[in-house]
Amino acid sequence: MNTIDNSLVKTALAYGKTVEEVLNALKKQGIRQPEFSICFASSTFNQQQVVSQIKQSLSGHLWGLSSAGEFNGIEEAMTCGGIFMLSIEPLANVLKSNVSYGTIGVDAENSAKAIVQKAFEGLHFDPELLYLGFSGKKPADLLKATPFSLLVAHSQIGTEEKCLKGICEYVGRGVRISGGSGADSLYLERVTETYCYADEKAEKNALSVLALATTLKNGVGIANAFRPVPGKGAFVTESFGRVVYSLNHRRAADVYMELTASSSWQEAFNAFNSHPFGIVEPVSHYWHIHSPAAIQKDGSMAFFSEIPQGSGVSLLEADSQSRIESTRLAVQRAIADAGYPQKIAAVVLFNCILCHQQSERLRTGRAEIQAVKSVVGENVPLIGASTYGETGYTIAGTVGHHNQTTTVWLLGDEPITR
């Protein structure tokens, strides 16, 4: 909890195996009237029961998603099977929130647009909140001083790109966007019980958004651990959505098998986690990760995100050091985007389950959490979920649905006027 006298926001962080344990921990930290709370609960729990219990005891908006694991700042490890909560209580008129959700139907784009519109239309902030935030600022200082942010939780896997298109069409470029997709199990034994939360609701096949208006510094960041393997690339000659049928006019699985020096499709499947494909962003040289999900009977490959036909893809690789540095870099980028606040109230991470798996394989979980704490401080609340895809802006300003990536939303305890 932030206890400095001149704080503008109070935060409390709790992790436990029952709702009662988590709520008691929040109350012991002095949280009484939170503006909103973020919850990540393992899919092993009854999701509607968890959300209902929380709302019966805790005021303010509730937003979050089901998780396959936790980027756990309390236990300082990658964990699984718990309930993780962050509550935020402003101590002055500096922060307003609203939650909206809806089921994603056939027209995902327009469904998402309507959900976000409802969230911002119901965001009841005082006009003075914006006036005080912008007063006295030079034009150059206003470039990053947008007061609006949006946290996005998907629970209909496969519609993320269409939802983001609808969101971006509605909000334009004046809103920071971050978030992720609700998850089920860490090793993908099933992908049927994914939920997102909106106040008293825990819903499948839905989109939940947390709209924020604040004069506190806040920012988003993104990073991944991968780099291209020299000389290992191909062109996507036939694809539709998340399925790639051919690379270099040959069966996709055959080309991927050659790129990974595998002797069979099964051996190539075993390389998925360590060798995803990447598409480079020309301006920033940032690599968008596209992780393979399956090799199908016809030799086509299904991915966890869309790969446009005509794209040039490169085989990627990572190691333990790049895994650790990627989490540090994501937070550093969020700090820069927030305008370098001297005081940080909280850090929220959306960490791909494939990153979590890779951290377990490379044994880097604790080092990743320490890397983040080395940047923000040991006592800053740090909450993270293992997700089925991550939503965020690249450093060039492109918002998208990412794989094997860490995205971050960071809240400063400092006004944008400072």
CA distance 378 to 364: 18
Domain range spanning residue 68? 9-224+323-415
Please give the pLDDT value at position 131.
65
Q: How far apart are CA 107 and CA 86, in angstroms?
A: 33
- pLDDT for the residue 146: 78
Q: Cβ(1)–Cβ(10) under 8 Å?
A: yes
| Relative orientation angle of helices 160-171 and 108-121, to the nearest 10 degrees | 40
Q: Are residues 289 and 158 located together in one domain of the fold?
A: no
Rounded distance between C-alpha atoms, residue 177 and residue 174, angstroms: 10
Task: Indicate whether 306 and 346 sit together in one domain.
Answer: no
Asked, for residue 66, whether it belongs to a domain, the answer is: yes
Strand pairing category for 216-223 and 406-415: antiparallel
Rounded to 5°, the CA angle 138-141-146 comes to 115
- pLDDT for 2: 45
- 29 with 69, same domain: the answer is yes
pLDDT the model gives residue 188: 76
Residue 41 falls inside a structural domain: yes
**For residue 417, with 0-12 CB atoms within 10 Å meaning exposed, 13-18 middle and 19 or more buried, which class applies?**
middle
- Domain boundary at 275, 291, 317, which? 317
Cβ neighbours, 10 Å, residue 308: 11
Question: In Å, what is the CA distance from 296 to each residue of 171, 252, 266?
Answer: 38, 10, 11
Domain boundary among 298, 317, 336: 317
Q: Are residues 368 and 271 in the same domain?
A: no
274 in any annotated domain: yes
User: Within this chain, do residues 343 and 194 fall inside the same structural domain, yes or no?
Assistant: yes
- The DSSP element (H or E) to which 325 belongs, if any, is helix 320-338
Q: What pLDDT does residue 187 have?
A: 81
Beta strands in 124-184 (DSSP E): 148-154, 176-181
> Residue 378: which residues within 8 A CB-CB, separation 6 or more?
none
- Kindly state whether residues 235 and 186 are assigned to the same domain: no
Q: Sign of the CA dihedral 242, 248, 249, 255?
A: negative
Shared domain check, 202 and 237: no
Concatenate the DSSP letters of all residues of 236-281 into one string.
EEEEETTEEEEETTEEHHHHHHHHTT-SSHHHHHTTTTT--EEEEE
SS3 state at 47: helix
Q: Dihedral angle at the C-alpha atoms of 154, 160, 163, 165, nearest 10 degrees?
A: 140
209 within some domain: yes
DSSP 360: H
Same domain, 73 and 212: yes
Q: Could you tell me if residue 2 is inside a domain?
A: no
Asked if 390 and 241 sit in the same domain, the reply is no
> What tokens does 415 get?
């006004």
**Judgement on whether residues 123 and 95 belong to the same structural domain of the protein:** yes
The domain boundary, picked from 290, 317, 344, lies at: 317
Q: In which residue ranges of the chain is pLDDT below 50?
A: 1-4
Whether 3 is in a domain gets the answer no
Same domain, 356 and 403: yes
- Say whether both 133 and 263 belong to one domain: no
- Report if residue 103 sits inside a domain: yes
Structural domain includes residue 243: yes
Our count of domains for the chain comes to: 2
The answer to whether residues 374 and 139 touch, using CB atoms and an 8 Å cutoff, is: no
